Structure 1
Amino acid sequence: MTIRHLRIFIEVVDSGKMSAAAEKLFISQPTVSQAIRELEEHYGGLLFERLSKKLYITKKGQKLLSYARNVVKQFDEMEEAMIQDNYVKKIRLGATNTVGECILSGIINALKESNPQTEIYSYVNNTRNIEEKLLKAELDIGIVEGRVKSPDLISIPEVNDFLVLICSTTHPFSKKKTVRLEELKNESFAMREQGSGTRELFEKYMQEKGIPIKIALEGNSSDSIKKAVIENQFLAVISIRQVEKEIKEGKIQVIQNTDSDWNRYFSIVYHKNKVKTYEMMNLIEIIKNYKNIDILNVISTGKLVKN
């Protein structure tokens, strides 16, 4: 078994066909077939089921894939470090949209200060996309507000966060000390896109309580959500960290859930087979500095009650 075998295996998984993998790698299809056959003989089992001319990865194949991407990536990094005199250390950081808007810039600045020779790449998207890139070894580490689903990823809750219901300061709810959960079913909501950890948590909560959500707008940024709340009288559920500015400007009123169902964490996530570098360990220590929230100590809020 060689690195070349693993590269071919990964390309077959990503392409879905041996012919497509051969074309992408500029080799013949028989060469691809032979490499897969040699891997299967080496590990003593099928890596793909071949049904109706289609390939379906097996459990053994999934297990190999969880190692293969990281092994190939680490091999490439070793080659680059050993061969190139001007090799630059790199770290690829993924963050969900909420994290990106709240704390990412401060984290990157602190990481630059402590690792001035390290090249930092950051990628911001929703939880689902960050998870996919971590599994493909396209990112080294992620900070997410949602729950990752793959057993191949390690997720460590590290930074406190919670969701709040928000409305404009001209909305009728802004004058109420308490809002009943039942009242939300008649309101229009601005919601994050599918795949968002914020949306997943809120939808799950409302489903459990039997309250339908009337979605009037879907957006992939907090700015579009907050604008709809302020200008269109929609409601939204959002991280408390994302509305500090609008609260201070008197544009948004916060309604806090009286139970803890909207409490959550921003979690540090990385592949279970990933070798943690010094830069990754340093990043984890930096993230811990953002653990607590103090904005609610200086504002008055309404209360969301079950009934």
Structure 2
Amino acid sequence: MTLRHMKIFVSVYQNSSITKAAKELHLAQPSVSVTIKELEEYYGQHFFERIGRRIYPTAAAKEFYGYAVHIVSMFEAMEKELKNGDEIETIRVGASITIGTHILPSLMKEFQEQFPEIRMEAVVNQSGTIERLLLENEIDLGLIENQPSSDSVCAVPFLEDSLVAIVPAEHPLAGKCDVILREMAENPFLMREKGSAGREILDACFDMEQITVHPAWESSSTQAIVQGVAKGLGVAVLPYLLVKRDLEQGLVCQAFLRRPIERKLNIIYHKSKYITRSMQTFVSMCLDYRTHQTKEEQHDGRDKDPDPDSRS
């Protein structure tokens, strides 16, 4: 069992093909096949099933891949750092759409201002996609809106957010307090697409209340939903961070739910991932984000107060 075995296995797993893996690694196809056979004999496990012209990983292969891809990555990072110490370090961050829209840009700007010598790459997508990219070692750290589903992923809460109910400005529920989900569900519902973190949480709330909702709209665009609500096409429940500005501008109005829908935003990383000092610094910056935001809000409040002496 060597690092070479792991590198070949990772390539075969990612390509779902021994032929493609051999071409990628510049090896003879029989050599790749022998290596996989040696691995299977070593662990006493069957790693791939051949169906037609493709091969498919078994449950054992999926478990082994979770370790192998990060062990290979850790070795390559060590080689790069020791042999090419002057190369630019890169941190790959993934974020869900809400976080990627409203939080990640500020975090990345602050980090780059402090560490201009470190290159940062970002991917913004659904929380489920971000978790998958983390498992496949396509990113180093993730910022998502729900709890990860894989036991191989560790999560650290760094911020709290809520889902809020929005309605058209002239709607009977506009500004009303103590609204229940069933009242909202009596209206045409505009919802995020299935698979998004916000949709999963909302669906779970409907299930708990035994409410059946057939969306009038489904969209991956929050702004499309907000515009639909503003035009009177229905109601919606969306992350507060995404609709805060629209509420402040009066484009839509909030209906205040009796039971607020709150959630924790999480920093995620693979349990087998080697976290560099730069990554640790970025994580610390994320954990400090709430404190910074509170200070900024307090500062903005002082700026807007026309008569500071009138405060009681």
Q: Same fold (TM over 0.5)?
A: yes
Query: CA 1:175–1:271 in structure 2 vs 1: closer, same or farther (change >3 Å)?
Result: closer
Q: Which residue in 2 is equivalent to 1:209?
A: 209
- The separation in 1 between residues aligned to 2:274 and 2:77, in whole angstroms, is 12
- The separation in 1 between residues aligned to 2:177 and 2:130, in whole angstroms, is 38
**Contact preservation (8 Å) 2:179, 2:256:** no
Structure 1: segments with no counterpart, 5+ residues: 299-307
Q: Which residue in 1 is equivalent to 2:105?
A: 105
Q: Which residue in 2 is equivalent to 1:145?
A: 145
Stretch moving more, 181-190 or 90-99:
181-190
What is the letter of the counterpart of residue 230 of structure 1?
Answer: A
**Contact preservation (8 Å) 2:134, 2:140:** yes
Q: Which residue in 1 is equivalent to 2:251?
A: 251
Q: Which residue in 1 is equivalent to 2:228?
A: 228
**Contact preservation (8 Å) 2:95, 2:142:** yes
Stretch moving more, 98-107 or 263-272:
98-107
- The separation in 2 between residues aligned to 1:142 and 1:232, in whole angstroms, is 36
Stretch moving more, 198-207 or 224-233:
224-233
Q: Which residue in 2 is equivalent to 1:187?
A: 187
Query: CA 1:49–1:116 in structure 2 vs 1: closer, same or farther (change >3 Å)?
Result: closer
Secondary structure at 2:111 match in 1: helix
- The separation in 1 between residues aligned to 2:278 and 2:258, in whole angstroms, is 40
Secondary structure at 2:250 match in 1: coil
Secondary structure at 1:243 match in 2: helix
Q: Which residue in 2 is equivalent to 1:290?
A: 289
Q: Which residue in 1 is equivalent to 2:135?
A: 135
Query: CA 1:233–1:89 in structure 2 vs 1: closer, same or farther (change >3 Å)?
Result: same
C-alpha displacement of 1:139? 0.5
Q: Which residue in 2 is equivalent to 1:304?
A: none
- The separation in 1 between residues aligned to 2:249 and 2:51, in whole angstroms, is 62
C-alpha displacement of 1:126? 0.3
**Contact preservation (8 Å) 1:147, 1:197:** no
C-alpha displacement of 1:142? 0.5
Aligned residue pair count:
294
**Contact preservation (8 Å) 1:46, 1:58:** no
What is the letter of the counterpart of residue 278 of structure 1?
Answer: R
1:25-174 equivalence runs, <5 A: 25-42=25-42, 44-50=43-49, 55-84=55-84, 86-174=86-174
Structure 2: segments with no counterpart, 5+ residues: 302-312
- The separation in 2 between residues aligned to 1:232 and 1:80, in whole angstroms, is 57
C-alpha displacement of 1:163? 0.8
C-alpha displacement of 1:26? 4.0
Query: CA 1:180–1:50 in structure 2 vs 1: closer, same or farther (change >3 Å)?
Result: closer
- The separation in 2 between residues aligned to 1:212 and 1:268, in whole angstroms, is 32
- The separation in 1 between residues aligned to 2:57 and 2:271, in whole angstroms, is 20
TM-score normalised by length of structure 1: 0.87
**Alpha carbon RMSD of aligned pairs, Å?**
2.4
4+ runs of 1 displaced by more than 6 Å? Answer: 292-295
Secondary structure at 2:216 match in 1: strand
- The separation in 1 between residues aligned to 2:100 and 2:55, in whole angstroms, is 37
Stretch moving more, 272-281 or 2-11:
2-11
Q: Which residue in 1 is equivalent to 2:279?
A: 280
Q: Which residue in 2 is equivalent to 1:266?
A: 265
C-alpha displacement of 1:82? 3.1
C-alpha displacement of 1:55? 4.2
- Bigger strand fraction: 1
Q: Which residue in 2 is equivalent to 1:303?
A: none
